[in-house]
Amino acid sequence: MKILMVLTSHDKLGNTGRKTGFWLEEFAAPYFTFLDAGAAVTVASPKGGQPPLDPVSDTPEGQTELTRRFKQDPAAQAVLANTVRLGDVKASDYDAVFYPGGHGPMWDLAEDPHSIALIEAFYNAGKPIAAVCHAPGVLHRVQFQGQPIVKGKRVTGFTNGEEEAVHLTKVVPFLVEDELKRLGGLYEKVANWVPFVVTDGRLVTGQNPASSRSGAAALLKLLSPDALTPARFIDRFEQIHGVHSGFRRNHAKGLGVSGFFDSNGTGVRLSKAAVFEPGRVPVIGRFSLDGGQPNQPDRSDTRRGLGLQFALANGEVWRTAMINFPLFPVRTPEIFYERLLAFKHDPATGQPDPAQVKAFEERHPETVEVLKTITAEPQASGFGNTTFHGLNAFLFTNAAGTRTPVRWILKPMQPFETATAASLDKNYLFHELIAQIHRQPLRWRLIVIVGKPGDPTNDPSIGWPADREQVDVGTLTLDRVEAEELSAATDIIFNPLMLPAGMAPSDDPVIRVRSAAYVESFTRRAGEPKEPSAITPADVKKGE
Ligand code: HEM
């Protein structure tokens, strides 16, 4: 799947003397949405090279998960700095085109003959086109069968009210809403700044910056209607666990923690990531239990999770979400999606339906052995003496440019004890964690496992040989615990693609699907009212 994105080269905001350009979120959100869906993305602009960024979109309020990811992704920055010239691109080389907004396109792309001809070529070839925010304005001279392309079509775009709110009604060459209506478009809108996307046939339009990720998702849906999209993945979690307003769609039950990571400097030989330079960085984390039920009783055999965010001195962050099993039960996102349903607990028995499990295992016999390896591991008695595995393989690059495939684990410094039967206290694992942290900080060693050429990096269900070098890169200390209502971790997406320079994803398809699914889960939960979490601020205080 090949997608073309077209950005503006225009940087003057009319006669205001101020700068404009493209809107950062409207580039970053679709760019990563396409990439994470496995598309090859080419970015073009009328002049080629680095397009101008609207400075207003780069303020702290304008930042989102995906703009932050862009800021620490040198490969994405290089793509943006080297956009191809619009005059050199051919519609026949791509499956679809996406126009991000910002005010810039209203001046150049809206009148650019190359752009107009290109959109017509895509549309006439039966290929989908998408435009978000001000970019629907670039359609105003585009024709289909001798008529304006938007005529008689359901469309949206930046509203007159939104233009008024940014005080540019008198500055822009035309108002997107008025122009789409004048051309005969069936214009629709929702309240200012609320995400809104309209698909009519193979034309996708989005209202404002917040609509850029869903606009990209709508374009992908036209390209591959049966694809396993992030929305479908999250729908499946909701199908299995129900919708629990405001909670994560997986790993819903959790507790915030914080502390710090002391790097011993050993990791520098593997990765130039600033987190491995000797010294201390602050960490925010979240312990969790697998599953979308925020009030499930703690059980020793429920998968345990630990999400961590390392805040690096240079402003980058590194996020990782780890679990207590040494292998992922399946090798691809598609099989995981299927497995979720096959292992859905029957409310009557509290167990999966054996017939469904059997049918799944017959379709995927390789998963039977993996499950045996996973369940053969003895469970630790609590969170504090659990080993957490990053599972997916990543690539480290050091200052000399050497790339090494790696995985990582956290080995507890608290002594191992085997889990006993579940306690009568339905929150016993979390209550014990609170009590332990109040008594003394909990510590783990961060161990990087160094892969050798030929070790599979694209399959989290296969472990590497046990003799692979293990490098102890430092110690994680967690010395504070906070209920979800008070913890910064609640609003963090422990997105496995939030990586500092010096770390990159491997070819494991699970990583990209995880990233997109976590963002989708966050988008849903962030817009919902939230019930109190199972572990309350009072529970945390009690342990003090
Ligand atoms: C295709 C595979 C996977 C999917 C679709 C998936 C899906 C999800 C979703 C939707 C969330 C909630 C995100 C949020 O709202 O912030 C989540 C959380 C989590 N996942 Fe996954 N996951 C996958 C694989 C994995 C793997 C391989 C691991 C372990 C290495 C893992 C560990 C975790 C942990 C620890 C959390 C909780 C993080 C937190 O506290 O926010 N997941 N997962």
Q: Does the beta carbon of 228 lie inside 6 Å of ligand 1?
A: no
Q: Does the beta carbon of 333 lie inside 6 Å of ligand 1?
A: yes
Q: Does the beta carbon of 522 lie inside 6 Å of ligand 1?
A: yes
Q: How far is the CA of 479 from the centre of ligand 1 (A)?
A: 24
Q: Does the beta carbon of 323 lie inside 6 Å of ligand 1?
A: yes
Q: Which residues of the chain have pLDDT under 70?
A: 422, 543
Residue with the smallest CA separation from ligand 1 atom 1 is: 333
Q: How far is the CA of 495 from the centre of ligand 1 (A)?
A: 8
Q: For residue 274, give both structure tokens.
A: 């600033």
Supply the pLDDT for residue 527. Answer: 86
Q: State pLDDT tens for residues 347-405.
A: 888 899 999 999 999 999 999 999 999 999 899 999 999 999 999 999 999 999 999 99
For 153, residues 6+ apart whose C-beta sits below 8 A from its C-beta are 185, 186, 200, 201, 203
What is the helix (H) or strand (E) element at residue 120, kind and residue range?
Answer: helix 113-124
Q: Does the beta carbon of 37 lie inside 6 Å of ligand 1?
A: no
Q: For residue 184, give both structure tokens.
A: 């005969």
Supply the pLDDT for residue 422. Answer: 67
Q: Among 241, 250, 511, which is best to mutate for testing ligand 1, by the most ligand atoms less than 8 A from CB?
A: 250
Q: State pLDDT tens for residues 184-216.
A: 999 999 999 999 999 999 999 999 999 999 999
Q: For residue 325, give both structure tokens.
A: 């099993």
Could you confirm whether 251 is annotated as catalytic? yes
Residue with the smallest CA separation from ligand 1 atom 13 is: 518
Q: How far is the CA of 508 from the centre of ligand 1 (A)?
A: 15
Q: Does the beta carbon of 257 lie inside 6 Å of ligand 1?
A: no
For 60, residues 6+ apart whose C-beta sits below 8 A from its C-beta are none
Taking each helix axis as running N to C, give the angle between helix 24-36 and helix 212-223, from 0 to 180 degrees, rounded to the nearest 10.
Answer: 30
Considering the candidates 251, 364, 389, 431, report the single residue annotated as catalytic. Answer: 251
For 501, residues 6+ apart whose C-beta sits below 8 A from its C-beta are 72, 74, 272, 273, 316
CA distance 128 to 258: 46
| 142: exposed, middle or buried (Cβ count in 10 Å: 0-12, 13-18, 19+) | buried
Q: How far is the CA of 300 from the centre of ligand 1 (A)?
A: 19
Q: For residue 204, give both structure tokens.
A: 């996708």
Q: Among 229, 234, 251, 510, which is best to mutate for testing ligand 1, by the most ligand atoms less than 8 A from CB?
A: 251
Residue with the smallest CA separation from ligand 1 atom 37 is: 251
How far the first Cα of the chain sits from its last, in Å, is: 55
Q: Does the beta carbon of 503 lie inside 6 Å of ligand 1?
A: no
Supply the pLDDT for residue 350. Answer: 82
Supply the pLDDT for residue 543. Answer: 65
Hey, how many other C-beta atoms are within 10 angstroms of the C-beta on 79? 18
CA distance 62 to 338: 37
Q: Which atom of ligand 1 is nearest to the CA of 389?
A: 30
Q: How far is the CA of 367 from the centre of ligand 1 (A)?
A: 19
Q: How far is the CA of 453 from the centre of ligand 1 (A)?
A: 28
